[in-house]
Amino acid sequence: MKTRARIVPILIFFLLAASLAQAAFKLPAPEKLTLKNGLVVYFLKNAEVPLISFRLNLKGAGSAQEPGELEGIANLTADQIMKGPAAMGAEAVSEALDFMGARIGLSASEEYAGLSVDCLAEHFPKVLDIASACLTSPAFKDDEFEKARKIRLDGLKSIKDNPGAAVRTYFTKAYFGTHPLGHLASGSEASLAKMTAADVRAYYQKYYGSKGAIGALVGNIEKDKALELLNAAFGGWKGAANVPIGTMPPIPAPKGMKLILIDKPDATQAYWVMGAPGYALGDKLTAPATVMNTLFGGRFTSWMSTELRIKRGLTYNTSSNFQTYRRGGLFTASSYTRNEKIGEMLEIVFDLLKKVGTEGFSAEEIESSRNYIQGQFPPTLETNASKAGTYVRLAFYNLGFDYYDKYLAAIQAVTQASAKDSAAKLIPTTDFVLVVVGKAAEIKAQLQKFGTWTEKKISDPGF
């Protein structure tokens, strides 16, 4: 084909890679706005569509430091904040937002809570006002807490009706145990039984504050106007004085194989997830591991997809990926297949896990993976929301706004050797957690050869 003109001589790859990445696409550098209370908001004007996106990361308000007996409280607190200030109430908040076709979201991830505001530019002052009212003076009404608690308890039940979602939840619990990453965002039956509205109020008092928070605003608005509106909305807010940074204990590293079978008697497919430790945000392994994982299970023609779907028709979908946090990360792989094929599928997967770290990839594969990552990068920063989200994430983790320029250059510098080396370090062959959800009567015999399985019924309480 005509388009394979890009052959990168190894000796000059640094220079060339950097120029390629720049020629291709660059995250525009934002301007820094500082509000009256010191809160920093990065700003970029984009007049292409009459929309504005605003993001605010609140350090510490994530789930990383939730006490185990109150798992889920970070997310429940975020949910309750959006039920509005005393002067307004949940119905008025949703009425006003729906009327403007606007969205405000607040949710807790592991290391921070994130506020997101997306709306038409003409509505932005009003929408920002609502976001500010909710975030800075939430009412925390008891009846709203009760409603949210019940919905979460119901949600825990319905997860078990969806084997694809259930296997993820069982995996999370099996892998992380009491580690904060094992906390369910919805809370568990035990934590929801114990949690009170007072706990939520206390969580807010302790963890929600402007100090250390970082914002970004991208959209069709002038800088001066943006600063004026942001100051009116958040410039007077202080909140909690000394919010902890929100880092978590080291990510567990399993020793040996931990194999768990969840019996779901009506399942006609068996679903599995496996996992092992990954790498931290900003780690030097990022580029080689990304090139490697793209080839292993990260795109349509990946090894996993080729062997399981394309060649054998065993499944509709399979993938692997790395999640990264400040101090560590997680590798997971997953798929599903009809009951009678689960043994065959897992055998193939185990072979691939062994092969990737010992044999590595061809030069053509490496080049393909690099091209793919470079080619698919620009659309990831196309919208106001994705740009704003990227600014707060980069600033929050101190990665710098040239992070992606360096990242793309590093991708271009990945070699067969560095990709193979990252696989040898990161792809598990003997130490991992594997959870299967399926009909035990039809799959158990196929699983015995892999080791000893701990068995549970899906109807057993909890996960």
Partner 1 sequence: MKKSLALGVLFLFAGASLLPGAFRKEDIKIHQLENGLKILLLEDHVIPNVALYTYFRVGSRNERPGLTGVSHFIEHMMFNGTAKVGPGEFDRKMEFAGGSNNASTGDDRTGYTDWFPASALEMMIEMEADRIQGATYDPKVFESERQVIASERRMAVDNSNDGILSENVRATAIMAHPYHWDVIGWMSDIQGWRRDEVMSYYKTYYAPNNAVLVMVGDFKEAEALALLKKYFGPVPASPPPPVVLTVEPPQMGTKRVTIRKEAQVPSFQVVWHGPSVRSPEFFPMSILGDALLRGQSSRLYRRLVRQEQLAVRVGGGQSENIDPFLFQIDVQPRPGADLARIEAVIEEELAKIKAEGITDAEIQKSLNMTRSGFYMGLQTISGKAGQLAEAEIMYGNFEKLFTLMDNYSAVKNPKIIEAAKKFFTDDNKTVGTLIPLGGVK
- Chain positions 252 to 281 lying near partner 1, rule: CB under 8 A, are 265-269
Does residue 452 bind partner 1 (CB under 8 A)?
Answer: no
DSSP string, 60-111: T-SSTT--GGGTTHHHHHHHHHTT-BTTTHHHHHHHHHHHTT-EEEEEE-SS
Measured in whole angstroms, how far is the alpha carbon of residue 7 from the centre of its chain? 34
Phi and psi dihedrals of 215, rounded to 5? -120, 165
Does residue 3 bind partner 1 (CB under 8 A)?
Answer: yes
Q: Using the rule CB under 8 A, give the single segment among 42-50, 57-65, 190-198, 388-396 that binds partner 1.
A: 42-50
Does residue 238 bind partner 1 (CB under 8 A)?
Answer: no
Residue 66 CB, nearest approach to partner 1 (Å): 23
Instruction: List binders of partner 1 among 108-127 (CB under 8 A).
Output: 118-120, 122, 126
DSSP string, 194-230: H--HHHHHHHHHHH-BSTT-EEEEEESS-HHHHHHHH
Q: Which element (helix H / strand E) includes 337?
A: strand 328-338
Give the residue, chosen from 33, 35, 51, 427, that forms a contact with partner 1 under the rule CB under 8 A: 51
Q: Using the rule CB under 8 A, give the single segment among 149-157, 171-179, 249-257, 410-418 that binds partner 1.
A: 149-157
DSSP structure class, residue 138: B
Does residue 384 bind partner 1 (CB under 8 A)?
Answer: yes
Does residue 217 bind partner 1 (CB under 8 A)?
Answer: no
Residue 381 CB, nearest approach to partner 1 (Å): 8
Give the residue, chosen from 137, 321, 323, 415, that forms a contact with partner 1 under the rule CB under 8 A: 137
Give the residue, chosen from 55, 59, 149, 160, that forms a contact with partner 1 under the rule CB under 8 A: 160
Give the residue, chosen from 145, 175, 303, 336, that forms a contact with partner 1 under the rule CB under 8 A: 336
Instruction: List binders of partner 1 among 4-33 (CB under 8 A).
Output: 4, 24-25
C-alpha distances in Å from residue 195, one per residue of 20, 146, 186, 189: 53, 10, 12, 10
C-alpha distances in Å from residue 119, one per residue of 52, 127, 220, 313: 6, 8, 11, 43
Does residue 363 bind partner 1 (CB under 8 A)?
Answer: no
Give the residue, chosen from 105, 223, 250, 316, that forms a contact with partner 1 under the rule CB under 8 A: 316
Give the residue, chosen from 161, 351, 431, 455, that forms a contact with partner 1 under the rule CB under 8 A: 161
DSSP string, 225-259: HHHHHHHHHHTT--B-SS------PPPP---SEEE
Interface map 162-181 toward partner 1 (x if CB under 8 A): xxx-----------------
Burial (0-12, 13-18, 19+ Cβ within 10 Å), 114: buried
Interface map 385-414 toward partner 1 (x if CB under 8 A): x-----------------------------
Give the residue, chosen from 34, 178, 376, 454, that forms a contact with partner 1 under the rule CB under 8 A: 376
If binding means CB under 8 A, how many residues of this protein chain bind partner 1?
A: 86
How do strand 112-120 and strand 51-59 relate by DSSP bridges?
antiparallel
Q: Using the rule CB under 8 A, give the single segment among 55-63, 81-89, 202-210, 246-254 that binds partner 1.
A: 81-89
Q: Which two tokens stand for residue 288?
A: 């080689």
**Could you identify the residue written with the tokens 């709306």?**
119
Give the residue, chosen from 27, 56, 413, 458, that forms a contact with partner 1 under the rule CB under 8 A: 458
Does residue 95 bind partner 1 (CB under 8 A)?
Answer: yes
Other CB atoms within 10 Å distance of the CB of residue 427: 23
Does residue 132 bind partner 1 (CB under 8 A)?
Answer: yes
Q: Are 213 and 56 contacting, i.e. CB atoms less than 8 angstroms apart?
A: yes
Q: Are 247 and 152 contacting, i.e. CB atoms less than 8 angstroms apart?
A: no
DSSP string, 288-318: HHHHHHHHHHSSTTSHHHIIIIITT---S-E
Q: Using the rule CB under 8 A, give the single segment among 11-19, 88-96, 255-263, 406-414 that binds partner 1.
A: 88-96
Whichever of 123 and 393 has its CB closer to partner 1, that residue is: 123
